[in-house]
């Protein structure tokens, strides 16, 4: 069989001959006639990927981490703005890397892990940091909370060495993922302030209350891994804004495009001239439609504005994770699972973004249910211990304001309700748990069937308390039980702050600002007066971050709280 092109004939008879041969003969024919190149390319690509993976593991194995327990002053009046300033300062840990460093040496951006832990009903805030960034972390915290205490502790998660299936313990866990694209923000702390009464409704209250309700033999772990994002995060947000506002993107022609379009442009112009010469008239040139905000619906304008506000701040690659672990005889999914997910739902905005449990949640409903559930439990427990942000679909972007919303230290108004002694009692499920319809709206429709049990026996003789007045966590996990080394460490860091000797990832000295503007509402920013928390206590944010309290006049009918009342 031939193909005659006039000046040349192509013989295709080899195709007929090859078609009648065995499959391995056909494959060998293609291999020896150039197909080997594909195998070489695939081999080189696979070898390179494997080499980079080994280099990444080697780099990760060299890293040393420090886990710090954070105790802020019990009379804390700071809003999440102070913690947002901490996250802004931690952007100094950004490690700019060239292509060679990433793809040959296997280096990657080191991450922080911000954690809230409840063990037997005692709560503790923690941060896990690479050892080389410890100065930066401590300086950022002390700059906003000079009276804070940081204690180096052992990893509490390593104390759990359970492998499932297990006869004594059970576990529920899930990654927290975003419902929509990560350029769209969640509901942040600024939206939890009542603009008329100036009262701040702390979104952490519900989560901390649930974590404080568990008893002996139970643990709830909340983890938010955060690594400074690479420069260029604005591009995805700007693209989304242009799409929402229907702004056409300008396309820039490359050199190749210009070369290919040149003949077409010449032919187009020649055709126009010929058309004119024959008496034809060219129509008016079409002008692109003019952009007008009046054509954009208000809710889309608000969405574009929210995206613009998000990408204007420091951005982090993040991954949230929740684990509930406990003995089977006290394991209560209705309290821990539905309660914690319901608390996380507070950050939901129907027009914006929301969190939901990821697909790796420890729940399977079809074939090999027990085996698959146990496998998921082991995997998520390992991911938590490793502080691995690359499970599921990997990390997503949150800015410093969003991070401060989901992880911040509660003020005194939130602490007060948690100091009550929990005796043996029967209580109703927490108010505000997600209904089936609410859960479906934001992806919570796969919670356990028994997670909404109407009543639960709560047996506990512990005091649910954020760890301000007790050393429950430190007594178990502190490396130096005396606390002397931690006090000495604090003095050294404060001296470094004063001397301006805090360094970032590039080993450059950075300035850690200690002044906090703790007012975030529009009305507050228009006045020099700090918001009043109640009728009897007035707080003022000073450059030294100290809080002054004006005591009630002596003719008040109410008495001060007893000095031995434990704050939480």
Coil, strand or helix at 172: strand
H helix runs in 122-164, sequence order: 134-144
Residue 493 is classified by DSSP as: H
Look at residues 219, 68, 244 and name the one whose alpha carbon lies nearest to residue 140: 68
- The residue that leads in pLDDT, 463 or 40, is 40
The angle formed by the CA atoms of residues 564, 566 and 568, to the nearest 5 degrees, is 160
pLDDT exceeds cutoff 80 at 480? yes
Query: What are the extents of the domains in the chain?
Result: 2-50, 65-238+300-506
Range with lowest mean pLDDT among 195-204, 270-279, 298-307: 270-279
Top mean pLDDT of 226-235, 449-458, 463-472 is at 226-235
CA distances from residue 432 to 54, 157, 415 in whole angstroms, order as listed: 47, 30, 19
280-292: average pLDDT: 61
CA torsion, points 495, 499, 504, 507, in degrees to nearest 10?
-110
The string of pLDDT tens digits covering residues 508-525 is: 787 776 655 555 443 444
**Residue 529 clears pLDDT 80, i.e. is over it:** no
Q: Which structure tokens are listed for 154?
A: 């052992």
pLDDT at 83 over 50: yes
Helix 234-244 to helix 298-311 angle, to the nearest 10 degrees?
A: 170
Token couple for 457: 């026996």
Is the C-alpha dihedral spanning 485, 487, 491, 493 positive or negative? positive
What pTM was computed for the model? 0.76
The predicted-structure confidence for 336-372, as pLDDT tens digits, reads as follows: 888 999 999 999 988 899 999 999 999 877 888 999 9
User: Would the pLDDT of 321 be above 80?
Assistant: yes
């Amino acid at each position: 069989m031939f193909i005659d092109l006039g000046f040349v004939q192509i013989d295709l008879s080899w195709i007929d001959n090859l078609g009648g041969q065995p499959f391995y003969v056909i494959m060998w024919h293609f291999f020896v006639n150039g197909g080997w190149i594909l195998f070489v390319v695939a081999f080189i690509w696979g070898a390179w990927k494997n080499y980079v993976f080994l280099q990444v593991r080697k780099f990760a194995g060299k890293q040393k981490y420090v886990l710090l327990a954070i105790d802020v002053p019990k009379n804390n009046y700071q809003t999440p703005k102070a913690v947002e300033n901490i996250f802004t300062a931690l952007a100094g840990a950004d490690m700019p890397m060239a292509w060679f460093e990433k793809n040959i040496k296997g280096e990657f951006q080191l991450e922080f892990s911000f954690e809230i832990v409840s063990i037997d009903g005692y709560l503790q805030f923690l941060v896990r940091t690479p050892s080389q960034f410890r100065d930066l972390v401590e300086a950022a915290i002390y700059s906003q909370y000079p009276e804070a205490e940081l204690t180096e502790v052992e990893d509490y998660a390593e104390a759990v060495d359970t492998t499932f299936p297990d006869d004594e313990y059970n576990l529920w866990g899930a990654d927290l993922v975003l419902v929509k694209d990560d350029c769209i923000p969640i509901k942040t702390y600024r939206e939890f302030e009542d603009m008329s009464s100036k009262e701040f409704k702390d979104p952490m209250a519900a989560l901390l209350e649930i974590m404080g309700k568990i008893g002996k033999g139970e643990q709830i772990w909340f983890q938010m891994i955060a690594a400074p994002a690479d420069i260029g995060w604005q591009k995805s947000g700007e693209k989304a804004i242009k799409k929402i506002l229907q702004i056409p993107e300008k396309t820039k022609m490359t050199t190749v495009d210009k070369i290919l379009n040149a003949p077409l442009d010449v032919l187009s112009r020649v055709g126009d001239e010929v058309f004119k010469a024959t008496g034809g008239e060219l129509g008016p040139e079409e002008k692109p439609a003019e952009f007008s905000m009046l054509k954009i619906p208000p809710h889309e304008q608000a969405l574009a504005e929210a995206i613009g506000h998000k990408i204007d701040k420091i951005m982090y690659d993040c991954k949230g994770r929740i684990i509930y672990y406990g003995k089977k005889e006290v394991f209560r999914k209705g309290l821990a699972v539905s309660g914690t997910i319901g608390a996380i739902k507070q950050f939901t905005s129907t027009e914006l973004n929301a969190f939901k449990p990821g697909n790796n949640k420890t729940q399977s409903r079809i074939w090999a249910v027990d085996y698959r559930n146990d496998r998921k439990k082991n995997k998520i427990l390992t991911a938590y211990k490793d502080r691995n942000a690359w499970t599921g679909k990997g990390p997503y972007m949150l800015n410093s304001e969003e991070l401060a919303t989901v992880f911040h230290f509660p003020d005194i108004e939130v602490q007060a309700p948690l100091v009550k002694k929990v005796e043996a009692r029967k209580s109703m499920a927490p108010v505000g748990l997600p209904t089936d319809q609410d859960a479906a709206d934001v992806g919570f429709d796969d919670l356990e069937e028994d997670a909404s049990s109407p009543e639960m026996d709560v047996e506990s003789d512990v005091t649910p308390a954020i760890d301000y007045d007790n050393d429950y966590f430190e007594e178990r996990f502190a490396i130096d039980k005396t606390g002397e080394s931690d006090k000495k460490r604090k003095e050294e860091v404060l001296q470094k702050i004063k001397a301006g000797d805090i360094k970032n990832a590039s080993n450059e000295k950075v300035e850690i600002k200690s002044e906090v503007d703790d007012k975030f509402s529009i009305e507050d920013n228009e006045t020099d007066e700090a918001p009043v928390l109640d009728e009897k206590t007035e707080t003022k944010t000073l450059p030294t971050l100290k809080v002054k309290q004006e005591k009630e006049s002596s003719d008040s009918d109410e008495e001060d709280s007893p000095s031995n009342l434990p704050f939480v």
